[in-house]
Structure 1
C-alpha cells in the first residue's frame, strides 16, 4: 500500500505524518516529524522525529483518521510531567 502524507498543526507546531498501512507486507508504519519550527520537540519525541511501527489495521480499527489519532496521542502524552516540565522550562528560558 502506498504511503499517505498528512500535514496538520498541533499547539503551533506544523507536523508532517507519513502513514504506510502495510510495509514489507507485515507491519504498519508512521513517520512523524515537526516541520515548523523544524525539529521542534513533541511529547512523543525530543528530536522532532519519530518512526513508529504497529500492527496493520490498528488505525483503521479506530476510525481510520490518522490526524485525529495522532492528535489524541500528542494530547495524551502532553499531560505527562516530562512534557509539562519541558513547556514550563521553555516559557521561562533556562538560565543554566
Structure 2
C-alpha cells in the first residue's frame, strides 16, 4: 500500500508522520519526524526522528486515526519523569552546556 503522510502540531512542535501499511508486504511502518523546528526532541525520540515497525493492522485496530494515535503516544511519554525533566531543563537553560 502507498504511504500516508500527515502533518500536525504537538505542543508547539510541527510533526510529520508517514504511515506505510504492509511495507515490504510484511509489516506496518510508522516514521515520525519533528519538522518545525527540525530535529526537535520529542518524548518518543531525542533526535526528532523515529522509525517504528508494528504488526499489520495495529493502527486500524485502534480506530485508524494515525494522528490521534501518535498524539496519544506523545502525550503518554510526555508524562514520564525523563521528559518532564527535559522540559524543565529547557525552560531554565543549562549553565554547563
Q: What's the TM-score, normalizing by structure 1?
A: 0.99
Per the alignment, residue 38 of structure 1 pairs with 38
Per the alignment, residue 29 of structure 1 pairs with 29
Deviations 1:9-41 (A, max 9, x none): 000000000000110111000000000001000
Per the alignment, residue 81 of structure 1 pairs with 81
Listed as ranges, the gaps of 5+ residues in structure 2 are none
Q: Does 1:20 align with 2:30?
A: no
Over 2 Å off, 4+ runs: none
Listed as ranges, the gaps of 5+ residues in structure 1 are none
Deviations 1:27-71 (A, max 9, x none): 000000000001000000000000000001000000000000000
Q: What's the TM-score, normalizing by structure 2?
A: 0.98
